[in-house]
A and B are shown apart, each in its own frame.
Chain A
């Protein structure tokens, strides 16, 4: 990234309309997660951010509460067009796919009781569980090899699966504890 010329700025002005349109493409493109498409649209195609800026925005988006991609939309929108830009980016990101989801919701309600479809959905549900587990495994492999990290991951797992503790308590307890551990045993 060092030798990339600093002035590879967007080919055209960043307006609320272009933000909405860009994030609409991101929102409608992802199957099983939209983040890879976000990088392609924001960095490669629209050149709103360079690679380093994108990584920074993404890490802040992950830190703040809420959906990561939604936070990326707000951070990028605000940076270029303030509150209006944030609203435009957020609207572009969520409204078009929401319309798709509404149609799917109606179709499911209409047809899910058909016996063979119901059986297919049992299989699909198991696959969805597997896909999410697989994502969890990938994330687990990337964790720092530290006792505190394993302990917190297991505590969160037990709280959610075994003890069924409401999530706000789990987060309020384990998030500060995790950050404290990461700071205490940093490096």
Chain B
């Protein structure tokens, strides 16, 4: 995929277009691979910036895939900020449109339930991986991992609004 060119904007968009076709479980399940590509392979962003931008995308209104615009802008400017989400959305959307065109009435089918069950564990593994990779990226040692673990437990088992966790962690960051 790297042969597309040296320009980070296009290379990033091409990578997202590839992920778009195989994406399961939403944008968060894609984050470990995006991290691998952007931070580890190319060094376009630090792990800390990557985690901060994911956080910013969670605190802002909008679908999760738009995190690609936040990331892309930092190393590829406005071009990447627009090309990245477009590349992330268009290939899968064409596939969905073709499906929708032939399945206008929708309806239940047993194969849908089985396929959903079969994909669920993959999604779970990738989403948990995403949390771990981000916590590693933050690079704040024990304090960072502890914050992540507390927020994970509290958000999974209480109904406190996510923004409270983000606000509390921002204050905690000042003294970290």
Which A positions have Cβ atoms within 8 angstroms of B?
Answer: 27-34, 53, 56-57, 59-71, 74-75, 78-79, 82-83, 86, 90, 93-94, 97-98, 100-102, 104-106, 108-109, 112, 116, 119-144, 148-157, 159-161, 164, 166-168, 170-172, 174-175, 178-183, 186
- Chain A at the B interface: SS class: helix
Which B positions have Cβ atoms within 8 angstroms of A?
Answer: 18-24, 26-28, 30-33, 36, 40, 48-49, 51-66, 69-70, 73-74, 78, 81-82, 85, 88-89, 91-93, 95-97, 99-101, 103-104, 106-108, 112-135, 137-140, 143-145, 147-156, 162-163, 165-166, 168-174, 176
Q: B149: shortest Cβ distance to chain A, in Å?
A: 7
Note all chain B residues with C-beta closer than 8 A to A124.
Answer: 52, 55-56, 59, 166, 169-170, 173
Q: Are B122 and A171 in contact (CB under 8 A)?
A: yes
Q: Are A75 and B19 in contact (CB under 8 A)?
A: no
- Chain B at the A interface: SS class: helix
Q: List 24 A-B contacts (CB under 8 A).
A: A33-B64, A53-B106, A60-B112, A66-B96, A74-B96, A98-B69, A108-B53, A119-B174, A123-B169, A123-B171, A123-B176, A124-B59, A128-B55, A131-B131, A131-B166, A133-B156, A153-B124, A156-B124, A157-B128, A159-B129, A167-B32, A167-B33, A182-B114, A186-B117
